Structures are given as structure tokens and as C-alpha cells.
């Protein structure tokens, strides 16, 4: 199939059939796809992967064949199809409660959902002016006032969360969670565009960047050329 790559990964149970099939866009560009992909890798949920090349003549048609929303990512699970990165994350958190993709503490969970919702529906200027090009390094740019305000807000979100949950661990909500997956693409953007961050935010960004799931995504992105 033109523009589509299917990668069968290690699958368990279900007589060798994939329980989860994650359909994503080009790894270099697809921020939305990185989120559930990172989550499933980081929380050790095996899945089969199909990559649909974005920005091609056939992209819309190919996505439509597999995704009812006409967008990627989409997760085809044994029991249902889930569209939208955040909905996929919530579905997986419900399906695997033992993996604790959200913190146990009710208020920390509410905090996590709040910052994920802000990521999901906001930061338009950053999205438009600094599109993800995973692994690329551009000459540092001076962000527009709108982008700078998005960056400042993200730094504030990270700094508050990191200091509030420091006793539980080094991730946004202490232990690794859906919140880290939702902000992972921003880490790539900040690196590519040479955005300087205050120390706690920079250290956090480095930690995400060096996570094995992020490295594996980067290897896939590099192969796409
Ligand atoms: N809110 C959606 C947004 C998904 C989205 O916009 N995906 C883009 C790729 S990153 C897409 O499928 N674009 C269709 C196209 O390029 O034709 C989500 O969280 O999954």
C-alpha cells in the first residue's frame, strides 16, 4: 500500500493476533501520534504499528481507510476503535489500572487531567510557528510574543508540577504518567528551535528526551529521512 508501513512488533496472548493496533502519522511530524505511542512503549503495552505518511497526495485517503475521524492517531483495540490521542490515553489508563498511568491521589490526578487538557486544546501559536520536525536542529529563532507566551505557560506548568510532586519522583506528577506523554512533543520542538529554558524545565526536557521510548521514536523518525 502506497505511503503506508506496517510494523509487527512483539505480540503476546490472543493466539498471536494483535490486541492493539496503533495507526500513526510520519514520526518526524506527527506530534499527536507520539503521545499514545510514547505512552504504550513507556508502559510496556505491546502493539502493532501502522505508519501513514503525512503530507502526501494519498494521505487523507489512507487515513480514512483506517480511522473514522480521518485523523491519526487511532487505536484499534480488540473491543473497540478509539480515536484522539487523549481519549486513547484515557482508554488505556482504564484498561490497565494496575499500570497507574495516572497517580493514585485524586487531586494529583485532577491536576494531571487539567494540564493535559490545556495541552490538548491550547498552544496554537507554538503549534503553528514551531511545527515538530523530530531530531532536526534549526538555527535558534526569536519566538514571536504569542509563542513566547505559550513557552512561558508551559514552563510554569512544568515547574509547578515538578516542585509539587518532587517527593514522588522526577516526572510531572512524580511517577511517569499520561501528562509526560502529552508534553513529549513539546520537548522535541524546544530542542529543534533552540529554546532556552530555566534549569528545572531544561532538566525535565532532557529527561524526557533521553527516555528509551523517545529514543526509539527518534530512531524511527531518522529512518523516514
Ligand atoms: N486532537 C486530535 C488531533 C489529531 C490530528 O490532528 N492529527 C493529524 C496528524 S498529527 C492528522 O491526522 N492530520 C490529517 C492529515 O494530515 O491529513 C488527537 O489528539 O488525536
Query: In the predicted model, is pLDDT for residue 15 greater than 60?
Result: no
Judge if 23 and 92 occupy the same domain.
Answer: yes
Judge if 112 and 196 occupy the same domain.
Answer: yes
Tell me if 218 is assigned to some domain.
no
84 lines ligand 1 (CB under 6 A): yes
pLDDT grade for 225, boundaries at 50, 70 and 90: confident
Judge if 54 and 124 occupy the same domain.
Answer: no
Query: In the predicted model, is pLDDT for residue 16 greater than 80?
Result: no
In three-state form (DSSP H/G/I as H, E/B as E, the rest C), the secondary structure along 67-126 is CCCCCCCEEEECCCEEECHHHHHHHHHHHCHHHCCCCCCHHHHHHHHHHHHHHHHCCHHH
Judge if 116 and 52 occupy the same domain.
Answer: no
Residue 200 contacts residue 159 (beta carbons within 8 Å): yes
36 lines ligand 1 (CB under 6 A): no
- Give residue 8's pLDDT: 45
Instruction: Give yes or no for a cis peptide into 73 (omega within 30° of 0).
Output: yes
Going by alpha carbons, the residue nearest to atom 17 of ligand 1 is 60
Looking up residue 189, the CATH number of its domain turns out to be: 1.20.1050.10
Each residue's pLDDT tens digit, 171-201: 999 999 999 999 999 999 999 999 999 999 9
Going by alpha carbons, the residue nearest to atom 11 of ligand 1 is 71
Query: In the predicted model, is pLDDT for residue 44 greater than 80?
Result: yes
**Looking at residues 54-72, what average pLDDT do you find?**
96
Judge if 113 and 134 occupy the same domain.
Answer: yes
Q: Give me the number of domains the chain comprises.
A: 2
Judge if 120 and 94 occupy the same domain.
Answer: no
State which H helix or E strand residue 157 sits in.
helix 145-164
- Give residue 140's pLDDT: 87
Going by alpha carbons, the residue nearest to atom 5 of ligand 1 is 71
Residue 45 vs residues 18, 41, 42: alpha-carbon distances, Å: 11, 6, 8
Q: Which domain holds residue 66?
A: 4-98
Mean of all residue pLDDT scores within the chain: 93
**Looking at residues 211-216, what average pLDDT do you find?**
98
- Give residue 141's pLDDT: 84
190 lines ligand 1 (CB under 6 A): no
* CA 63 to ligand 1 center in whole angstroms: 10
pTM of the model: 0.94
- Give residue 133's pLDDT: 97
Query: In the predicted model, is pLDDT for residue 162 greater than 50?
Result: yes
The percent of residues above 70 in pLDDT, for the chain, comes to 92
Going by alpha carbons, the residue nearest to atom 14 of ligand 1 is 71
Phi and psi angles of residue 171, each rounded to the nearest 5 degrees, phi first: -95, 180
Each residue's pLDDT tens digit, 92-136: 999 999 999 999 999 999 999 999 999 999 999 999 999 999 999
**Looking at residues 35-52, what average pLDDT do you find?**
98
Query: In the predicted model, is pLDDT for residue 11 greater than 90?
Result: no
Judge if 66 and 110 occupy the same domain.
Answer: no
* CA 108 to ligand 1 center in whole angstroms: 28
Phi and psi angles of residue 143, each rounded to the nearest 5 degrees, phi first: -65, 145
The percent of residues above 90 in pLDDT, for the chain, comes to 91
Amino acid at each position: 500500500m502506497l505511503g503506508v508501513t506496517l510494523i509487527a512488533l512483539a505480540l503476546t496472548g490472543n493466539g498471536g493476533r494483535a490486541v492493539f493496533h496503533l495507526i500513526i502519522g510520519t514520526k518526524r511530524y506527527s506530534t499527536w501520534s507520539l503521545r499514545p505511542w510514547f505512552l504504550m512503549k513507556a508502559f510496556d503495552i505491546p502493539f502493532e504499528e501502522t505508519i501513514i505518511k503525512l503530507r502526501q497526495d494519498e494521505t487523507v485517503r489512507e487515513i480514512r481507510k483506517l480511522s473514522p475521524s480521518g485523523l491519526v492517531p487511532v487505536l484499534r483495540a480488540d473491543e473497540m476503535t478509539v480515536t484522539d490521542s487523549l481519549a486513547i490515553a484515557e482508554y488505556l489508563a482504564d484498561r490497565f489500572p494496575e499500570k497507574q498511568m495516572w497517580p493514585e491521589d485524586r487531586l494529583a490526578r485532577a491536576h494531571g487531567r487539567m494540564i493535559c487538557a490545556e495541552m490538548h486544546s491550547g498552544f496554537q501559536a507554538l503549534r503553528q510557528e514551531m511545527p515538530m520536525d523530530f531530531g532536526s536542529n534549526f538555527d535558534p529563532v526569536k519566538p514571536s510574543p504569542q509563542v513566547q507566551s505559550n513557552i512561558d505557560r508551559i514552563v510554569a506548568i512544568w515547574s509547578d508540577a515538578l516542585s509539587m510532586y518532587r517527593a514522588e519522583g522526577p516526572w510531572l506528577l512524580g511517577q511517569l504518567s499520561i501528562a509526560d506523554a502529552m508534553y513529549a512533543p513539546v520537548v522535541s520542538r524546544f530542542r529543534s528551535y533552540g529554546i532556552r529554558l530555566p534549569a528545572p524545565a531544561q532538566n525535565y526536557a532532557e529527561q524526557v528526551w533521553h527516555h528509551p521510548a523517545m529514543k526509539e521514536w527518534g530512531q524511527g523518525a531518522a529512518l523516514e529521512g
